Amino acid sequence: MTDNCPSCPQEQIRPIAEQRDDTQVSHLYRCPDCGETWSTNRDLRAYGEAA
C-alpha cells in the first residue's frame, strides 16, 4: 500500500517496512526524493482483511 510524502510532492511511495498484528498494520515509509521518513497505522478491519 503506497502513501504520499508529507514533505514534498512525491506520491505513491512504497513502504520499506511493515508490521502487523491482529487488527492493525503499520507501514514505515522513506521518501526517495527528500529523505523524509514517516509511518502510518491502519485498522485492518476497515479494509476487510482482519482474520
* Total chain residues near Zn ion (CB under 5 A): 8
3 forms part of the interface with Zn ion (CB under 5 A): no
24 forms part of the interface with Zn ion (CB under 5 A): no
Q: Which three cell numbers stand for residue 8?
A: 514534498
Q: Which three cell numbers stand for residue 4?
A: 504520499
User: Shortest distance, CB of residue 41 to Zn ion, whole angstroms?
Assistant: 20
The strand order across the sheet containing 17-20 reads 17-20, 24-30, 37-43
Q: How far is Cα 16 from Cα 5, in angstroms, rounded to an integer?
A: 13
Nearer residue to Zn ion within complex by CB, 3 or 36:
36
Q: What residues make contact with Zn ion under the rule CB under 5 A?
A: 5, 7-8, 10, 31, 33-34, 36
